[in-house]
Structure 1
Amino acid sequence: MSGSTEHALEHGHGHEHDHGNRLYFTTWLWLLVITVLEVGVVLFHLPRALLVGILLLMTVLKAVLIVANFMHLRFEKLNMIYVIITPMIFALIMWYGVALDY
């Protein structure tokens, strides 16, 4: 073996990379499952309020998965909460602004 390969195996660096790939694969798999569920929910022709609520919940779940794993905020809970909650607040403000027109 080469010197760098032996060094990586001695200090366990090779295993960290494998764990990261498994984490990314699992995250992509969950995102796919949630997306398929979103499409399935739309096909059931549920009442509009229930449909919107379920779709918003699944969207927030997908956002949490992406922020936690791809933006590496899994261990920074407060930052993760800010990243998820702030756009929701802005969306509510914008919705309120549009709702006044009706």
Structure 2
Amino acid sequence: MSGTAHSAVEHGHEHDHGNRLYFLTWLWLLLITVLEVGVVLVHMPRAILVAVLLLMTVLKSGLIVANFMHLRFEKLNMIYIILTPMIFALIMWYGVALDY
């Protein structure tokens, strides 16, 4: 096998693996979304409902950042991207909670 043919075969296998990874990511995102809808339909205390929905949202954002933004090998950047909005949300929640 020539060098170009060999590299094309290797590239094809990498591409197939990438498609499988994207398919599995979309499947997990769909599954988590269905679970979110199911959790909303089950009547539970509001605090637990909000906590479960926030957890699922963090899971979905982690999947998106890791696979679609290609940051799964850059752990520190991935942590910053996920934690920064959470910190801002807590600050905003604290500011609104003082009004009550």
RMSD of aligned Cα (Å): 1.3
> Which residue number in structure 1 is paired with residue 69 of structure 2?
71
> Which residue number in structure 2 is paired with residue 25 of structure 1?
23
One-letter amino acid of the counterpart of residue 59, structure 1: T
**How far apart are residue 58 of structure 1 and its match?**
0.4
Number of residues of Structure 1 aligned to a counterpart in Structure 2 = 97
> Which residue number in structure 2 is paired with residue 8 of structure 1?
8
TM-score w.r.t. structure 2 length? Answer: 0.92
Identity, % of aligned positions: 83
Write out the 4+ residue segments of structure 1 that deviate beyond 2 Å after TM superposition. Answer: none
Determine the C-alpha separation between the residues in 1 that align with 2:42 and 2:91: 30
One-letter amino acid of the counterpart of residue 14, structure 1: G
> Which residue number in structure 1 is paired with residue 42 of structure 2?
44
Structure 2 residue runs of 5 or longer lacking an equivalent are none
Among 78, 81, 84, the alignment partner of 2:79 is: 81
**How far apart are residue 54 of structure 1 and its match?**
0.6
Q: Deviations over 1:78-98 (max 9, x none)?
A: 111010001100011111111
